[in-house]
Amino acid sequence: MSAAAPAAPRTAVKPFYFNTSAHLLRITRQKANTLAEFLDALRECPEASIFQHTFRTLEEHHFLREGFSNDFGQWVLSACNEPSLAEGLASVDVREFTSVAELRARFIQIVGDFLTRSPAAATRNARETFYFCAADSVVIPTNFVARTLHEFAEGLRGVSVHCIHHHFIEARLRLKLMSNDFSQWLHEDLGLTDAARQLNRLDIYTATLDDVREQIIRIVERALI
Amino acid sequence: MEPIESPAARQIEPGTSEGSSYAANSGLAAVSAPAAPVREERRRKPRTWETPPAPVPAPHLDDYKNIVGQAEIDELRFLAEGLKGKSLKMVNSTAVGGGVAEMLNQMVPLLNEVQLQTHWDVITGGNDFFEVTKAFHNALQGSDYKLTQQARDIFLMHNEQNLKRMQFTEDLIVIHDPQPAALIRARQDASRRWIWRCHIDLSNPNPDVWGFLRPFIEQYDAAIFSSQSFSRQLSIPQYLFYPCIDPLSEKNKDLDDNFVQQVCDEFGVDRSRPIVTQVSRFDRAKDPVGVVQAFKQARKYVDCQLLLAGGGATDDPEGAIVLKEVKEAAGNDPDIIILDLPPWCALEINALQRASTIVVQKSIREGFGLTVTEALWKGKPTIAGAVGGIPNQIIHKLTGALVHSVDGCAYQIRYLLTHPQFAKQLGENGREHVKENFLMTTNVRRWLLLCRILLGRTGE
């Protein structure tokens, strides 16, 4: 039997438009000097604050491979010196949430449970104030559009890490699915279900966003063969 | 040739074989501890080269491509497309000197380049006005001040005169700092957006001065602060614009290592041994004496030199006192090199930062701390006081080390000098952090974003 011929390049029904989102930091009214104030602020702050201090801050620190998950965990560790609570907060994986409301509820639960167990920690002054900020966002296009897998890989190489974050991490808040724009397109428009699944298994917390980009490109290139 | 005062001194004499080249042409003075008499003697000589160099032409957006990547530059252009036909006016109180003018000199051409028509106007005023606004500036940052009716009248009168002289026909008007804040009274309709950009720390303002200014500020559509901790509770939206550095400026651009070596040779800095550096004015807020103490503690365990490169001792009486204190603390230590540099020595500062093994900024009070940004950008492991805007830049153990005491500073110097791999990682992370958040291009992005948000052009 002769060797299999190279797969014909598939053309998607709908092209993939690489967009990106740019964010501006707005300072909100909420701030916390103690864990009790922090819990109150978590309840009261706008959803854009929860988004900023979790999804967005992960993007801002995209170059770190370890030690940073979200601003809440970082502050509790460095300013409140509560490592067990910090670990609980830092272990929250934003990709398990498809709405900011659910994410907020999770943080409230973690802090609330901790303060129930350790009430003395509630009013202890933190070394630094936590200022709740919010992200105001603008969606912008890029120069890249993909109709084939090859063009898709080219786009992945050419766009900024902000674009990768927009489609790969933030997307679930738009889609309301445990997925991302890349996987959705690969699955729905190119029928590459395996590649779509592999993308969803990438660990964004132990890699930089550039590492994640490389891993996505490798999966896409394997699908090209 | 002048005598060498101590083993560490490398006194540079213009026109001699030892003091040739750039240092002789830039008016630099190297003083080793305790070498004040030598420096004073040198100052008596006429030094025609003691003038600032000609300004460097403003860069274009594409000049940043190799630093931030083509995709980032493209995104700025796409962001600006949503502002086609819109115009912006920047208003501040001085065209030259000071960080705001420097920033506007770079930012305005870049905004125009992306087709956001941007004008820059400077208010005028007499000595009486600038005396009042200087006092306001200090009072808003916490100094004692008795606000008088006369001061209010002078402030309002000059704002009124400028208001009559200027036109506000642009779509967005940005007023920088308190001096021109009352220009908001020129606002006639709601179609234009007015923004107040506050570059100072308002965390603990004099209540009378803030009480006087606040009603003006709350007429704006938005305010911008340089750090969360500098802001006030206001009825208008407040945005966060970190100060930024220009990676193409003399202070921050890449340098040939031969030049770095030349600068070190001129100042007697031995690059074969670890160099711990603090670059800052001789100001108590920067705690240079604390740095000397930390260095002396650390050097019991690790070999290193300390380089204190600063300025302000010539034109500021308190600076001269602090410099004297630093020299006393340094004693006759040949490994402590103290440089009192004129303000236009950006290239030399750049070279010294690049030659450093570790950079320290052990401030006990600080604004944003752009010397930290500069050090991080050069990939230097940086140890800094956890004050002002520094915690925005240094995430402890990830992008640098935050310290709260002399002992803490000494420990971090020891630790980083003996753990070079960890120090290298901090430096690399710090540079990325600056690239993401504190470069000129990031601030172009912020301005474009703010304009789009305030004009309702969010693209969603």
Please state the domain extents for chain B: 21-32+248-437, 83-244+440-454
Measured between beta carbons, the chain A residues lying within 8 angstroms of B231 are 27, 131
Instruction: Tell me which of B429, B433, B448 to substitute to probe the interface with A (most A C-beta atoms closer than 10 Å).
Output: B429
Judged by CB atoms closer than 8 Å, whether chains meet at A25 and B398 is answered as: no
HSE toward the beta carbon, residue A77, CA cutoff 13 A:
19
The pLDDT tens digits of the residues spanning A94-132 come to 989 999 999 999 999 999 999 999 999 999 999 999 999
Residues A161, A162, A165, A168, CA torsion sign: negative
* DSSP letter assigned to residue B55: P
B276 bridge partner residues: B306, B358
Q: Please report, in angstroms and rounded to a whole number, the separation of the first and last CA atoms in chain A.
A: 19
Residues B164, B165, B166, B169, CA torsion sign: positive
Residue B67 backbone phi and psi in degrees, to 5: -95, -50
How many domains in chain A?
A: 2
Judged by CB atoms closer than 8 Å, whether chains meet at B74 and A143 is answered as: yes
Measured between beta carbons, the chain B residues lying within 8 angstroms of A129 are 228-229
Residue A3 lies in a domain: no
What distance in Å separates the CA atoms of residue B265 and residue A53, rounded to the nearest whole number? 47
Minimal C-alpha gap between B49 and chain A (Å): 44
The class that CATH gives domain B83-244+440-454 is alpha beta
Give the one of B240, B386, B433 whose C-beta lies nearest to A27's C-beta.
B240
Tell whether the model's pLDDT for residue A4 goes beyond 60: no
Q: Are residues A127 and A30 in the same domain?
A: yes
| Closest CA in chain B for residue A66 | B398
What distance in Å separates the CA atoms of residue B96 and residue B338, rounded to the nearest whole number? 29
Locus of tokens 């791999």 = B421
Residue B101 pLDDT: 87
Residue A9 pLDDT: 61
- In this prediction the ipTM stands at 0.90
Judged by CB atoms closer than 8 Å, whether chains meet at A163 and B71 is answered as: yes
Q: Of the residues A108, A134, A160, which one is the last residue of a structural domain?
A: A134
| Closest CA in chain A for residue B404 | A127
Q: Are residues A155 and A182 in the same domain?
A: yes
Q: How confident is the model at residue A140 (pLDDT cuts 50, 70, 90)?
A: very high
Judged by CB atoms closer than 8 Å, whether chains meet at A138 and B459 is answered as: yes
The pLDDT tens digits of the residues spanning B110-160 come to 999 999 999 999 999 999 999 999 999 999 988 899 999 999 999 999 999
Judged by CB atoms closer than 8 Å, whether chains meet at B391 and A27 is answered as: no
Helix axes B36-44, B317-330, angle to 10 degrees: 140
Taking the C-alpha atoms of B368, B372, B374 and B377 in order, what is their torsion angle to the nearest 10 degrees?
A: -110
Q: Are residues A42 and A127 in the same domain?
A: yes
Tell whether the model's pLDDT for residue A187 goes beyond 50: yes
* Helical ranges in A82-208 per DSSP H: 83-90, 100-117, 149-158, 161-168, 171-175, 181-190, 193-200
Spatial contact of B68 and B74, defined as CB atoms under 8 Å apart: no
Measured between beta carbons, the chain A residues lying within 8 angstroms of B229 are 129, 131
Phi-psi sector, B193: left (phi>0), alpha (psi -120 to 50), beta: beta
Structure tokens at B385: 């006081």
Measured between beta carbons, the chain B residues lying within 8 angstroms of A64 are 398, 429
Q: Which residues of B touch A (CB under 8 A)?
A: 69-72, 74-75, 78-79, 82, 225, 228-229, 231, 233, 237-240, 386, 391, 395-398, 402, 429, 432-433, 436-437, 445-446, 449-450, 452-453, 457-460
Angle at B181 (CA atoms; ends B454, B451), nearest 5 degrees: 15
Q: Are residues A128 and A150 in the same domain?
A: no
- For chain B, residues with pLDDT lower than 70 are 1-53, 312-316, 459-460
> Residue range A190-194: average pLDDT?
94
Spatial CB neighbours of A51, under 8 Å, sequence gap ≥ 6 = A100, A134, A135, A173
Residue A40 lies in a domain: yes
Judged by CB atoms closer than 8 Å, whether chains meet at B228 and A133 is answered as: yes
Q: Compute how many other C-beta atoms are within 10 angstroms of the C-beta atom of residue B150.
A: 10
What distance in Å separates the CA atoms of residue B452 and residue B116, rounded to the nearest whole number? 11
Going from the C-alpha of B199 to that of each of B140, B210, B225, the distances in angstroms are 11, 15, 6
Q: Are residues A88 and A158 in the same domain?
A: no
Minimal C-alpha gap between B451 and chain A (Å): 11
Residue B133 pLDDT: 93
Give the one of A23, A27, A127 whose C-beta lies nearest to B225's C-beta.
A27
Residue with the bigger pLDDT between A36 and B106: it is A36
Q: Are residues A176 and A189 in the same domain?
A: yes
Q: Compute how many other C-beta atoms are within 10 angstroms of the C-beta atom of residue A139.
A: 13
Tell whether the model's pLDDT for residue A7 goes beyond 80: no
Q: Are residues A156 and A202 in the same domain?
A: yes
Which residues 122-151 of A have a C-beta within 8 angstroms of B?
127-129, 131, 133, 136-143
Residue B9 pLDDT: 32
What distance in Å separates the CA atoms of residue B77 and residue B73, rounded to the nearest whole number? 7
Measured between beta carbons, the chain A residues lying within 8 angstroms of B70 are 158
For chain B, the helix, strand and coil percentages under 3-state DSSP, each to the nearest 5: 45, 15, 40
Residue type, A178: M
Give the one of A31, A140, A143 whose C-beta lies nearest to B459's C-beta.
A140
Give the one of B79, B233, B459 whose C-beta lies nearest to A29's C-beta.
B233
What distance in Å separates the CA atoms of residue B109 and residue B99, rounded to the nearest whole number? 16
Judged by CB atoms closer than 8 Å, whether chains meet at B228 and A128 is answered as: no
Interface contacts (A, B; CB < 8 Å): 94
* DSSP letter assigned to residue A121: G
Minimal C-alpha gap between B230 and chain A (Å): 11
Residues B17, B324, B322, B379, CA torsion sign: positive
Residue A2 pLDDT: 43
Q: Are residues A155 and A100 in the same domain?
A: no
Measured between beta carbons, the chain B residues lying within 8 angstroms of A24 are 239, 446, 449-450, 453
For chain A, the helix, strand and coil percentages under 3-state DSSP, each to the nearest 5: 55, 20, 30
Q: Are residues A49 and A89 in the same domain?
A: yes
Q: How confident is the model at residue A13 (pLDDT cuts 50, 70, 90)?
A: confident
Q: Please report, in angstroms and rounded to a whole number, the separation of the first and last CA atoms in chain B.
A: 70
Q: Are residues A148 and A124 in the same domain?
A: no
What distance in Å separates the CA atoms of residue B317 and residue A2, rounded to the nearest whole number? 89
- Domain B21-32+248-437 CATH (choose: 2.10.109.10, 3.40.50.450, 1.10.1660.10, 3.40.50.2000): 3.40.50.2000
What distance in Å separates the CA atoms of residue B143 and residue B160, rounded to the nearest whole number? 27
Q: Which domain holds residue A186?
A: 11-20+138-224
Helix axes A71-78, A35-44, angle to 10 degrees: 170
Going from the C-alpha of A176 to that of each of A67, A181, B147, B320, B343, the distances in angstroms are 28, 11, 56, 63, 55
Q: Of the residues A102, A134, A166, which one is the last residue of a structural domain?
A: A134
pTM score, two decimals? 0.87
